[in-house]
Amino acid sequence: MRPLHVVILAAGQGSRMKSALPKVLHKIAGLPMLHHVIGTARRLGAENIHGVIGHGADLVRAETQGDDLQWVLQEQQLGTGHAVAQTLPNLPDNARVLVLYGDVPLIRTDTLQQLVAGIDDQTLGLLTVTLDNPDGYGRILRDGAGEVTAIVEQKDATAEQKLICEVNTGILAVSAARLKSWLPQLSNRNAQGEYYLTDIIAMAVGESMAVRVNQPENPYEVQGVNNRLQLAELERWFQRQEADRLMTEGATLADPGRVDVRGKLTIGNDILIDINVVFEGEVELADGVSIGPGCVIRDSRIAAGAVIHAHSIVDGAEVGVAAQVGPFARLRPGTRLAADTKVGNFVETKKAIVGEGSKISHLSYVGDASLGRNVNVGAGTITCNYDGVNKFQTVIGDGVFVGSNTALVAPVTVAEGATIGAGSTITRDINARELAVARGRQRNLADWARPEKKS
Ligand code: UD1
Ligand code: CA
């Protein structure tokens, strides 16, 4: 099979975005548009990806990594044909070339697979779409037999041609050898004074090549982004597809329009996701997991039957089987909750290992700590893990009972079965089954006369 090379045009300024950021770095589902396209090119098995950059080139390059990427600078944007021509020296003669666009982010891999599969030395593949309103697009011209003969740009089209509703998506596939012979012949004698890539269609027909047309399943696949309204429109389409996938795979969504997936979400069966939940990075939800409204779940694994109650943030954490988290909990990176644990409201954890059956139910901070099984951490408990310079560990054994409003000044170890009296500030290790009380002793003074207001 001849190698596939993908050219991605991304040199335009995108002035209608009204942004300091190059257009192709604006994000859909948390990922720059250009990265969506690069991901698609990789899934197609591209040997090399040629990015044509111009406006914001340094930033685009800095934000985009990969050994398979080759950048070419198009100093002046003289047209799509001129843009592709910049990559010719880097294209092997035997390559098949697919042209994509950095601002057409949601083109599907299988649509392109079909397009590319249909081409050979004698066949050019063209992706078109039929629109109710074709305004602004290049129109597809066909002869009496229905064969494509050329593309005419809107600004060069006659009134009659403007009635054609089949338009050019800009996406096409053809052999590198043909591109190398055609692109140097392009002229810019047209309404826009540009070198049009679209003119190669008539050249192909002139050389008796076949033009094979494919269409995407959904027009959103080939919709470009010129402003933030179109960006939002594609974001919603993307998210609706993710929602549909989740429902198909076994999740009940309280509202498919109010869940956002910005990354890779893997789910089991019988998942419940309430409204306004955001998933970021790589997240796995096992069977029977339930996520309450307003949660943010990032780079985490949540085991079967666990419940994340409303307005919790779970970030870089592992949540064990049937664990209960929140409402209003914040699990920070390095948190590992074993099975049947509970982390309740207004509790923050960080690098905290929590053993099976342990509970931190209210208003606590547990950081750089490891807790055994069946530990009960009372309300208002703080691990004082930081002296302003260094972080220290708190180690708590199985079955420890930590009274409310305890400060554990790390490094400190509380051995199994120990009990800490409420309001203690613990600065020394506690042995197994000891009671530690570290607070001022209560004094009651009899017949205390309160001060009276002076008249
Ligand atoms: C192009 C097609 C048109 C098609 C439409 C689909 C041509 C001549 N016309 O028109 O048939 O219907 O796309 O959206 O190809 N770019 C560069 N360098 C350049 C010029 C453009 O990188 O010198 C990039 C732009 O950043 C943009 C893309 O190519 O991402 C398309 O360019 P644009 O000028 O928007 O083409 P259209 O006029 O929309
Ligand atoms: Ca355009």
Determine the residue type at 145.
A
Q: Whose CA is nearest to atom 27 of ligand 1?
A: 12
- Which pLDDT belongs to residue 433? 98
Q: Roughly what angle, to the nearest 10 degrees, separates helices 33-43 and 109-117?
A: 50
Residue 128 Cβ contacting ligand 1 at under 6 Å: no
Of 1.10.760.10, 3.30.365.10, 3.40.50.620, 3.90.550.10, the CATH number of 4-222 is 3.90.550.10
End-to-end CA distance of the chain: 102
Q: How far apart are CA 224 and CA 188, in angstroms?
A: 24
Residue 86 Cβ contacting ligand 1 at under 6 Å: no
Q: How far apart are CA 184 and CA 50, in angstroms?
A: 18
Q: Which atom belonging to ligand 1 lies closest to the Cα atom of 197?
A: 15
- Which pLDDT belongs to residue 455? 86
Residue 151 Cβ contacting ligand 1 at under 6 Å: yes
Residue 12 Cβ contacting ligand 1 at under 6 Å: yes
Q: List Cβ neighbours of 150 (8 Å cut-off, separation of 6 or more).
A: 141, 199, 201, 202, 205
Residue 381 Cβ contacting ligand 1 at under 6 Å: no
- pLDDT tens track, the chain, 455 positions: 799 999 999 999 899 999 999 999 999 999 999 999 999 999 999 999 999 999 999 999 999 999 999 999 999 999 999 999 999 999 999 999 999 999 999 999 999 999 999 999 999 999 999 999 999 999 999 999 999 999 999 999 999 999 999 999 999 999 999 999 999 999 999 999 999 999 999 999 999 999 999 999 999 999 999 999 999 999 999 999 999 999 999 999 999 999 999 999 999 999 999 999 999 999 999 999 999 999 999 999 999 999 999 999 999 999 999 999 999 999 999 999 999 999 999 999 999 999 999 999 999 999 999 999 999 999 999 999 999 999 999 999 999 999 999 999 999 999 999 999 999 999 999 999 999 999 999 999 999 999 999 98
Q: Whose CA is nearest to atom 17 of ligand 1?
A: 11
Of the listed ligands, the closest to the CA of 77 is: 1
Pocket test for ligand 1, best of 80, 197, 199 (most atoms within 8 A of CB): 80
CB 437, CB 422: distance < 8 Å: no
Could you tell me the distance, in angstroms and rounded to a whole number, from the CA of residue 102 to the centre of ligand 2? Answer: 11
Residue 83 Cβ contacting ligand 1 at under 6 Å: yes
Of 2.160.10.10, 2.40.50.100, 3.40.50.620, 3.90.1300.10, the CATH number of 239-436 is 2.160.10.10
- Which pLDDT belongs to residue 442? 95
Of the listed ligands, the closest to the CA of 136 is: 1
Domain 4-222 shares a fold with domain 239-436: no
Q: Whose CA is nearest to atom 25 of ligand 1?
A: 12
Q: Which atom belonging to ligand 1 lies closest to the Cα atom of 101?
A: 30
Q: How far apart are CA 289 and CA 265, in angstroms?
A: 13
Of the listed ligands, the closest to the CA of 135 is: 1
Q: Whose CA is nearest to atom 36 of ligand 1?
A: 80
- Which pLDDT belongs to residue 49? 98
Residue 195 Cβ contacting ligand 1 at under 6 Å: no
Q: Whose CA is nearest to atom 8 of ligand 1?
A: 196
- Which pLDDT belongs to residue 56? 96
Active site residue 311: no
Could you tell me the distance, in angstroms and rounded to a whole number, from the CA of residue 252 to the centre of ligand 2? Answer: 38
Domain boundaries, the chain: 4-222, 239-436
Could you tell me the distance, in angstroms and rounded to a whole number, from the CA of residue 224 to the centre of ligand 2? Answer: 7
Residue 50 Cβ contacting ligand 1 at under 6 Å: no
- Which pLDDT belongs to residue 103? 98
